[in-house]
Structure 1
Amino acid sequence: MVQLAVIEPLSEHALLILFVQLFLLLLTARGLGEIAQRVDLPAVVGELLAGIVLGPSFFGVLAPDLFITIFPQLAGPYHLIEVVSWFGLLMLLIVTGFETDLELIASRARPAALVSAAGIVVPFITGFGLGYALPTAFLAAEDQRFVFSLFVAVAMSISAIPVIAKVLLDIDAIHRDIGQITIAAGMIDDTIGWILLSIVAALAKAGTAGNAVAALGAAGETIFWLIVFLLLAFTVGRRLAESIIRWVDSVIGGQAGKITTLMVLALGVGSVTQYIGVEAVLGAFVVGLLIGQVNRFDQSTRHTFETMTLSVFAPIFFAMAGLRVDLTTLADPALFAAGIVVLGVATFGKFSGAFIGARAAGLSRWEGIAMGAGMNARGAIEIIVATIGLSIGVLSIQMYSIIVMVALVTSLTAPPLLRKTLAKTELSDAEIERLERRTSEQRSFLGAIDRVLLPTRCGVSSLIAAQLLGHVVRRRDIDVTCMYVDRSRAVDADGDGTLRQRVTNVLSTVKRSLLRLERRGDSNHHEPQSGDSASHCLEKIEDQLALSDGPARTMTRTVTTSVSDLVLSEAEDHYDLLVIGMNDSPQAADRSLLGAELDRILRVTPCPILAVSSNAASSDRSPEELSVSRILLPTIGTQYSRHAAEVAFAIGADQNAIVEIMHVVTPPQPEETLIEPKLSEAVDIGEAIVDREAELGRQMGVEVLTHVSVGNRPESGILTRATETDADVIVMGSEIRPTSRRAFLGHRVEHVIENASCPVAVVSSV
């Protein structure tokens, strides 16, 4: 048995140094970042400068003894803080993945590929030539001129996705077409750059021709496994990521569980990419990209993760990038002149390459300039490349300082150049429409819904509610949970149940027992069990939902206190919408959620409600026969009317139905005002209200009609219009107002529910 030695923990002094380092890095980075934003520069400019200010260039010159004390030039303390900065890099790449639009990149694959190809080939050629032209003094070994030139070429070709992404995030341009193309091209650049770096590093370590061949073979194996990884990630991995997040959200719930799962996946997948020879940051980016497509990883959780990343870990990473830089070495005139030449060649090669690729892809001149400005940022990635070159003996310390200087200068100049050039690029009509639609979707009522609960006993209203819900969620990544309510042990909504309820329960039990005895001798008769009833009901509900991405999540819950307690308890489990059927037909009364139970659910529910009334008693159509081709949408211009409009338009878009928006103007009474009322002004206001809602409907691709009428009883006008137009469903917004012990939806809404000849859906979100 192997006896393991006990490893001593970090000393108190080592911990003190680490905490002081993190304190100074975060304080300086965030402080300079805020200053940069005050002078109209992205925060990343100040964060990059923080490392230089705290490094040997400034702090080391002003207080050398204190600098050595706080930042000892030893591998151990340096690597401790480097681990923290790597966390920041991984998290920043996850955020970049969140903000990457796969569909847009796929639609812009050609320009991204052209920009990336030209942005690598041109600087690689110019960098290789520069490597051969530089004096021997810059080489670590005179006999490695070829490998040295290859290394300089790779360093000139690389781009800094973290810097580019941070700049685009800071200037709110990452969702623009040009921003997504830049991110896509940068990721291609980085992937190819890391592969080229692995080949050059292997050649540098090989020494002999035979080993060089073996190194090239190893690089080929890395490329093969990278292709396999990407294929698996965007096929199996995509579905697996969605399943994992959904399971965590359903079983554990809360932001903490989802964020922990995200980091576990990023670290795990990053370990895989690191193992196959590609940097872990690529794995983190892929995880962020995949999780960003999962709607259950909601905007609130995403915002929490982004805030933590961009305010704490990313600033530490950017500050750490400049901590090794010693600008005092550039005081030598020869070294300074060489640095200017290298900077010029690097900028010319990358800028011209990206510009040529952009123009070849059909982008405008200003878009090409913007692409060149963005892709020219080298940042910490080139610093990492320089560090690797120094560690394997390819770069001298002088060349290392020059490459780091190039990385910092290009990263500092890229943000203002990118900001100015992007201001010159015009947005196309399609891009404006896409950005407005994205913004509207993020702020919308339905855009904030990820999980829906549908409690049911298969009453007619529940079945119609399921059908309407299916129309709403079919084009959206929304999870639906169908909960069968077993009322065999239910009591009333007030608690233990009244005497009448208890007697009813006893009589029901006796009746079921007598029926079992009566049918026991009939071998051909099948007594349906509770599980059979639940299964049959949930199958009917799923048929009504008709979800395109697979069956809904289903469950059966037995009522032990009251139906309302059961529904409300389940609804508190992070659901965003409760869909419920009300006032089912008398024939289904024993299976519906009625009376005090429904009132209590409406009053106490912790989330918005979509309540559906079938009005089956006044309609000959069964739920299965309901076809939605025309929707009537009464509105008064309030927020809850707007939310109801979103539901109506979602149904209309799925069913290719006509949505008629209706507003009823109530004539002002002369005795109620000090001035003579003007009906025309009220009508104009009504026209403005329906036009505003109609614009939303057209954005969602729905055929919209508008109608403004005048009447003293708006509820009667709504019912008349529904009859005249043969509306299949009425969708209304309402605010639940508790009155005494019942839920009150408003006189007009309740009048429509009670008298409509078609189903009525009421959205209550306030």
Structure 2
Amino acid sequence: MLGHLALVLLAALVCGMIARRLGMPAMTGQLAAGVLLGPSLLGTVLPESLDFGDGDDLPLVSAVGTLGVVLLVGLAAVDLDGPFLRRRVKVVASVGLGSFAVPLATGVGAGLLIPQAMHGESTGTTEFALLLGTALSVSAIPVIARILTELDLLRKEIGQLTLATGTLTDIAAWVILAVVSAMTTSGLGGGRLPLTLGALVGVLVATAVLRRPVSRALDRLESSRHEGQTGGIVVLILIACAAITGALNLEPVLGAFLGGVMIGRRGDAVLAPLRAVTTWVLAPVFLAGAGLHLDLHLIADPVVAGVAAAVVLAAVVSKFVGTFVGARVAGVPRWDSAALGAGLNARGVVEIVIATAGLHMGVFSAEIYMIVVLLAVITSIMAGPWVAFCVARGAHAGPRTDIDDPDGADLDRADLDRADLDRADLDRADLDRADEAPVPAVRTTEG
């Protein structure tokens, strides 16, 4: 088993580096590593050389991948910018509603139209349609953050709006995933619906109540210079929260996300080692393991290919249109609204987490799993150039209109950046005029 794990990690790291060299997200290469080792290629060319199967017979790879998902989602929630959400609550709410509700409705409609033969074995039409709608609605915060960093937009208004809105939509997605998980594991009949909703409300209330005490306790521990111990407790909290929601028949990923919200922002000394291990070890193993379940031979079926094209097109268009309209209603400039729609279209690893959960719960068939994973890869690759195009067009479209701030907040980061540039230009102009003007006499006073 250790040999399989080492080979999966090696393939994921090498393919991830190749993808980065080609200008694509590392996620794409890491997922491709699993595809190469799985039934799509190696399982066909050399079926008896390495028995990877479809990944289900590799418990160690599956366990490491599960830990990777818990830490990946939890650490993403740690970066939630609460003050920004409160300061821009109306704008974030409007954009978030459009970017989530429109693709959710589109996905549910598509789920009702997709043939029953392509549904999972242990699911009803309602669960299938709801989970497909959720898959179309999410955004991948890690991929979006990397795109914004490369474009130097992370600390500007458009970047913060994109991250805040993506976080808000992901919260809604984890909640719906938890409901679907409960529907498939215990059902919602016979009085179980109130129990499921009660468990869901209970974990949300517990998160709100415990967030401040947990964050303060970690602050005290961190100030005592026990960063290593603090890091271990952070991991313990994320795993424990995931286990609690799992025991309540809710999706463990929801618990990991809420655990990250309770932990709050930490210093680099605490999170940097965890991020490094998650980014370079755990997440690649999870993505390669997801690729092991992907059988690209299924796309040769004309029906599957047609459904894939329709789902990808519907997902991209509905996400962009919903985000654009929501942003415009909130007063965001046109090209900034387009950039938001482009950035939030990146679904990345979050989409793969939902696809994997759907496959394991029996809600998604192998065909739908493949379609959803392909959607994650396609949107993650196209989001970067799309955002860059919208930002460049916006920069040449004339003066920007500031986003309304009902709370009277200070200038946003983008305005401050422009103000610094304008001030620098004025300073240089003043210096030039000072060089040309005669030097005035200096008078001194006594007393």
TM-score range, shorter chain: 0.7 to 0.9
Structure 1 position 340, deviation (Å) = 0.7
Structure 1 position 232, deviation (Å) = 1.6
Q: Which amino acid aligns with 1:115?
A: V
**TM superposition score normalised by structure 1:** 0.48
Q: Is 1:430 matched up with 2:412?
A: yes
Please give the alpha-carbon distance, in whole angstroms, between the structure 1 residues aligned to 2:179 and 2:299: 30
Q: Is 1:54 matched up with 2:37?
A: yes
Q: Which amino acid aligns with 2:238?
A: A
Q: Is 1:350 matched up with 2:331?
A: no
SS at match of 2:364: coil
Match of 2:279 in 1: 310
Please give the alpha-carbon distance, in whole angstroms, between the structure 1 residues aligned to 2:80 and 2:418: 17
CA offsets per residue over residues 377-398 of structure 1, 9 Å max, x none?
3334333433444444443333
Contact 1:29 1:316 in 2 (8 A): yes
The counterpart of 1:228, out of the listed 191, 199, 205, is 205
Q: Following superposition of structure 1 onto structure 2, how do residues 26-105 of structure 1 map, counting pairs within 5 Å?
A: 27-67=10-50, 69=51, 71-73=52-54, 75-77=56-58, 79-97=59-77, 99-105=79-85
Contact 1:136 1:142 in 2 (8 A): no
Match of 1:129 in 2: 109
The counterpart of 2:304, out of the listed 335, 338, 345, is 335
Q: Following superposition of structure 1 onto structure 2, how do residues 109-508 of structure 1 map, counting pairs within 5 Å?
A: 109-140=89-120, 144-168=124-148, 173-204=153-184, 211-212=188-189, 214-247=191-224, 249=225, 253=226, 255-276=227-248, 278-285=250-257, 288=260, 293=265, 297=267, 299-424=268-393, 430-432=412-414
SS at match of 2:189: helix
Match of 1:555 in 2: none
Please give the alpha-carbon distance, in whole angstroms, between the structure 1 residues aligned to 2:66 and 2:333: 37
Contact 1:367 1:425 in 2 (8 A): yes
Contact 2:123 2:362 in 1 (8 A): no
Q: Following superposition of structure 1 onto structure 2, how do residues 721-736 of structure 1 map, counting pairs within 5 Å?
A: none
Contact 2:38 2:53 in 1 (8 A): no
Q: Which amino acid aligns with 1:259?
A: G
Q: Following superposition of structure 1 onto structure 2, how do residues 621-632 of structure 1 map, counting pairs within 5 Å?
A: none
Q: Quickly say closer, same or farther: Cα 1:74–1:196, change in 2 above 3 A.
A: closer
Contact 1:161 1:186 in 2 (8 A): yes
Please give the alpha-carbon distance, in whole angstroms, between the structure 2 residues aligned to 1:101 and 1:313: 25
Greater helix fraction, Structure 1 or Structure 2: 2
Structure 1 position 278, deviation (Å) = 5.0
Q: Is 1:16 matched up with 2:3?
A: yes
Larger relative contact order (Cα-Cα within 8 Å, sequence gap ≥ 6) = 2
SS at match of 2:191: helix
Unaligned segments of structure 1, at least 5 residues: 1-13, 438-683, 688-708, 710-723, 726-766
| Residue correspondences, number | 415
Q: Which amino acid aligns with 2:106?
A: T
Structure 1 position 213, deviation (Å) = 5.8
Structure 1 position 30, deviation (Å) = 3.2
CA offsets per residue over residues 61-87 of structure 1, 9 Å max, x none?
4433334x2x2446341x321222233
CA offsets per residue over residues 294-324 of structure 1, 9 Å max, x none?
5xx3x45544443443333333333333231
* Residues 222-231 or 136-145, more deviating: 136-145
Q: Following superposition of structure 1 onto structure 2, how do residues 630-645 of structure 1 map, counting pairs within 5 Å?
A: none
Q: Quickly say closer, same or farther: Cα 1:43–1:399, change in 2 above 3 A.
A: closer
Please give the alpha-carbon distance, in whole angstroms, between the structure 2 residues aligned to 1:110 and 1:137: 43
Structure 1 position 339, deviation (Å) = 1.2
CA offsets per residue over residues 317-366 of structure 1, 9 Å max, x none?
33333231111110112221121112112222222222222222222222
Please give the alpha-carbon distance, in whole angstroms, between the structure 2 residues aligned to 1:53 and 1:105: 41
Match of 1:693 in 2: none
Q: Following superposition of structure 1 onto structure 2, how do residues 1-12 of structure 1 map, counting pairs within 5 Å?
A: none
Please give the alpha-carbon distance, in whole angstroms, between the structure 2 residues aligned to 1:434 and 1:257: 38
Q: Which amino acid aligns with 1:164?
A: I
Please give the alpha-carbon distance, in whole angstroms, between the structure 2 residues aligned to 1:312 and 1:261: 20
Structure 1 vs Structure 2 CA RMSD: 3.8
Structure 1 position 136, deviation (Å) = 3.6
Match of 1:692 in 2: none
Please give the alpha-carbon distance, in whole angstroms, between the structure 2 residues aligned to 1:97 and 1:316: 21
Greater strand fraction, Structure 1 or Structure 2: 1
CA offsets per residue over residues 686-740 of structure 1, 9 Å max, x none?
x9xxxxxxxxxxxxxxxxxxxxx9xxxxxxxxxxxxxx99xxxxxxxxxxxxxxx
Q: Which amino acid aligns with 2:314?
A: V
Please give the alpha-carbon distance, in whole angstroms, between the structure 1 residues aligned to 2:333 and 2:74: 30
Please give the alpha-carbon distance, in whole angstroms, between the structure 1 residues aligned to 2:385 and 2:186: 42
Structure 1 position 228, deviation (Å) = 0.9
Q: Following superposition of structure 1 onto structure 2, how do residues 603-614 of structure 1 map, counting pairs within 5 Å?
A: none
Contact 1:98 1:291 in 2 (8 A): yes
Please give the alpha-carbon distance, in whole angstroms, between the structure 2 residues aligned to 1:316 and 1:155: 22
Q: Quickly say closer, same or farther: Cα 1:95–1:324, change in 2 above 3 A.
A: same
SS at match of 1:395: coil
SS at match of 1:266: helix
**TM superposition score normalised by structure 2:** 0.78
Please give the alpha-carbon distance, in whole angstroms, between the structure 1 residues aligned to 2:78 and 2:416: 17
Q: Quickly say closer, same or farther: Cα 1:402–1:305, change in 2 above 3 A.
A: closer
Contact 1:44 1:166 in 2 (8 A): no
Please give the alpha-carbon distance, in whole angstroms, between the structure 1 residues aligned to 2:328 and 2:198: 34
Larger Rg computed on CA atoms: 1
Match of 1:5 in 2: none
Unaligned segments of structure 2, at least 5 residues: 403-410, 420-430, 435-441
Contact 1:111 1:358 in 2 (8 A): yes
Q: Which amino acid aligns with 1:331?
A: A
Structure 1 position 201, deviation (Å) = 4.1
Structure 1 position 54, deviation (Å) = 3.4
Q: Quickly say closer, same or farther: Cα 1:386–1:338, change in 2 above 3 A.
A: same
Please give the alpha-carbon distance, in whole angstroms, between the structure 2 residues aligned to 1:245 and 1:300: 9
Please give the alpha-carbon distance, in whole angstroms, between the structure 2 residues aligned to 1:227 and 1:375: 25
Contact 2:61 2:285 in 1 (8 A): no
Please give the alpha-carbon distance, in whole angstroms, between the structure 2 residues aligned to 1:334 and 1:118: 31
Please give the alpha-carbon distance, in whole angstroms, between the structure 2 residues aligned to 1:124 and 1:239: 37
Contact 2:181 2:251 in 1 (8 A): no
CA offsets per residue over residues 535-590 of structure 1, 9 Å max, x none?
xxxxxxxxxxxxxxxxxxxxxxxxxxxxxxxxxxxxxxxxxxxxxxxxxxxxxxxx
Structure 1 position 221, deviation (Å) = 1.0
